[in-house]
A = this chain, B = another copy of it.
Amino acid sequence: MKAGNKTTGARLRIVLETDVAIGPGKADILAGIRETGSIAAAGRRMGMSYKRAWSLVEEMNAFFTEPMVETSRGGNARGGATLTPMGEKVLDSYRHMEDLTDQAIAGEMKSLKRSLADMAKRK
């Protein structure tokens, strides 16, 4: 789970169309499903309710021409879930965009960091 928890760097939200957006949270859900094989487990490790995780998956499944997540027992995913080829493609693309962004803005980030106040000043 790269994006959601990293403390410094860029966080990217991609708005492809009105109401079609992918950010760190949705990317981490996809990554969690890939790694755990379960929507519930993916949500749990993000501190997210099953209901919320499931609703994000439902939303995402309508974004593209194919769903991104497939569940093994029809509507209810407690039995297991996997990324479809579309899900893999979108997650890989998002992670790639994160890397491209980090590279593109590295110089600006470095320059801004030089002006940071001491931690003490911010209490």
Interface size on A, residues (CB 8 A): 43
Label chain A's interface by main secondary structure: mixed
Contacting chain B: which of A25-33, A46-54, A69-77, A107-115?
Answer: A107-115
The answer on a CB contact under 8 Å between B65 and A117 is yes
The 8 Å CB contact of A105, one of B11, B17, B97, B117, is B97
A107 to B, closest residue via Cβ? B100
- Please measure, in the bound complex, the distance between the C-alpha atom of A96 and the C-alpha atom of B111, giving whole angstroms: 12
Contact surface of A with B, Cβ cutoff 8 Å: 6-20, 23, 62-66, 86, 89-90, 93, 96-97, 100-101, 103-105, 108-109, 111-113, 115-117, 119, 121-122
